[in-house]
């Protein structure tokens, strides 16, 4: 009897343990689908991500990308720009140095705090997700999205919102999926293993297809940079800044500029129409006639159809004298 109880207890423990593991596994799978930028960048991850970018070799990489962004975006001083995913401030400080009026958004309060510390009071910040921007249509001259699309749950919805609020140009900075130096694998090490599975890297070709799908036939240019080891020097800058290297698709960073056509939301307006006064068709001899008096007759015809029943005294061709004054047609 005791032996049977031990066997049953062992089976119960094995069942509960197996069930518990399955429950934990299912819970993890379901929670991964709900990962957003706000819970990816918690306090510890935000600090680790910022410290990773603050390393000298990665600062040099950020310097290369900032130069690519300025060359492609060509911003004008005094214009407004929205920095989506302002985060560690790689692009934020570059925009401020270019003389732009900067607004930054990020869904993570910890990343917003880091960006505020770097920019001090030189920029305005909002907590918002890229898929639902709290701004009017065509609110900014430029928008930049630098190293942020990789963490967005719905990239298409985010790009649609970015295009909605931008009137001139959009800059999209990517960690290139097809980079030869494996930069994407390096940055993945900053995040915990469950989060790494949710990070998606794109190529310039993929983003160009999405932009065409959302906007149609607009002007899109793309370049890449970051082929040689990340240290500054004259030789390195010459290699990186050459047009041939930028045209290749295998750099560590890809930059894409989309030239926008301003679009406006429209809504129908209700117009009051008077009933009981049918509109008559204009006789053909009035439409085809070019003489003076038939032209005046056609003007009288128009007035009558518009609801004016007043009599006019003369028609000199330039005006009609009504009982209440002169109306030019």
Q: Are residues 198 and 302 in the same domain?
A: no
Name the domain boundary from 217, 243, 259: 259
Averaged pLDDT for residues 190-202: 82
- pLDDT digit string (tens) for 217-228? 999 999 998 887
Looking at every residue in the chain, the average pLDDT score rounds to 76
Is residue 229 in some structural domain?
yes
Percentage of the residues of the chain whose pLDDT score is greater than 70:
67
Q: Are residues 169 and 308 in the same domain?
A: no
Spatial distance between the Cα atoms of 327 and 18, rounded to a whole number of angstroms? 91
Averaged pLDDT for residues 135-145: 95
Q: Are residues 241 and 188 in the same domain?
A: yes
Averaged pLDDT for residues 191-207: 85
Q: Are residues 313 and 167 in the same domain?
A: no
Is residue 271 in some structural domain?
no
* Residue 179 confidence class, pLDDT cut points 50, 70, 90: confident
pLDDT of res. 309: 47
pTM of the predicted protein model:
0.68
**At residue 173, does pLDDT exceed 80?**
yes
78: left (phi over 0), alpha (psi -120 to 50) or beta: left
**At residue 24, does pLDDT exceed 50?**
no
Averaged pLDDT for residues 194-207: 86
Q: Are residues 82 and 145 in the same domain?
A: yes
Name residue 256's beta-bridge partners.
172, 222
Spatial distance between the Cα atoms of 14 and 8, rounded to a whole number of angstroms? 10
- The neighbour count for residue 275, using CB atoms within 10 Å, is 6
- For every residue of 96-156, DSSP letters joined together read HHTT-EEEEE-S-HHHHHHHHHHHTTSEEEE---TTS--S-TT-EEEEEEES-GGG-S-HH
pLDDT of res. 223: 93
Q: Are residues 292 and 158 in the same domain?
A: no
Per the structure, the complete domain to which residue 319 belongs is given by 284-327
Spatial distance between the Cα atoms of 22 and 297, rounded to a whole number of angstroms? 89
Is residue 108 in some structural domain?
yes
CA dihedral 157, 158, 164, 165 (to 10 degrees): 160
Least confidently predicted of 8-17, 108-117, 250-259, 274-283? 8-17
Is residue 272 in some structural domain?
no
Helix and strand numbers, DSSP H then E, in the chain:
14, 9
Is residue 3 in some structural domain?
no
Q: Are residues 155 and 212 in the same domain?
A: yes
- Look at residues 95, 65, 62 and name the one whose alpha carbon lies nearest to residue 241: 65
Spatial distance between the Cα atoms of 76 and 99, rounded to a whole number of angstroms? 8
Tokens encoding 117: 């510390």
Q: What total of structural domains would you count in the chain?
A: 2
- pLDDT digit string (tens) for 81-117? 999 998 877 789 999 999 999 999 999 999 999 998 8
* Residue 29 confidence class, pLDDT cut points 50, 70, 90: very low
Beta strands in 178-235 (DSSP E): 220-225
Q: Are residues 226 and 303 in the same domain?
A: no
């Amino acid at each position: 009897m005791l032996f049977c109880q031990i066997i049953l207890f062992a089976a119960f423990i094995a069942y509960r343990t197996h069930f518990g593991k399955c429950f934990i596994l299912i819970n993890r799978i379901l929670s991964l689908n709900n990962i957003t930028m706000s819970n990816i960048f918690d306090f510890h991850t935000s600090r680790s991500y910022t410290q990773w970018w603050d390393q000298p070799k990665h600062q040099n990489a950020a310097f290369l990308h900032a130069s690519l962004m300025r060359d492609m975006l060509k911003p004008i001083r005094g214009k407004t720009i929205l920095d989506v995913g302002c985060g560690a401030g790689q692009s934020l400080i570059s925009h401020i140095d270019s003389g732009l009026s900067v607004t930054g958004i990020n869904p993570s309060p910890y990343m917003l705090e880091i960006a505020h510390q770097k920019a001090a009071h030189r920029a305005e910040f909002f907590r918002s997700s890229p898929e639902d921007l709290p701004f009017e249509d065509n609110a900014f001259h430029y928008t930049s999205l630098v190293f942020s699309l990789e963490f967005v749950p719905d990239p298409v919805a985010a790009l649609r919102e970015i295009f909605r609020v931008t009137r001139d140009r959009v800059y999209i900075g990517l960690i290139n999926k097809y980079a030869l130096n494996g930069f994407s694998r390096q940055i993945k090490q900053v995040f915990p293993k469950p989060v790494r599975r949710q990070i998606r890297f794109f190529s310039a070709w993929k983003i160009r297809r999405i932009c065409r799908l959302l906007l149609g036939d607009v002007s899109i240019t793309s370049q890449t940079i970051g082929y040689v080891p990340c240290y500054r020097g004259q030789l390195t800058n010459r290699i990186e800044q050459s047009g041939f290297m930028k045209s290749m698709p295998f750099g560590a960073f890809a930059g894409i500029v989309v030239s926008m056509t301003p679009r406006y939301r429209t809504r129908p307006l209700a117009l009051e129409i008077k009933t009981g006064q049918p509109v008559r068709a204009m006789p053909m001899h009035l439409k085809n006639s070019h003489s003076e008096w038939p032209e005046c007759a056609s003007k009288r015809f128009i007035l009558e159809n518009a609801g004016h029943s007043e009599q006019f005294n003369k028609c000199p061709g330039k005006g009609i004298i009504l009982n209440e004054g002169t109306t030019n047609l």
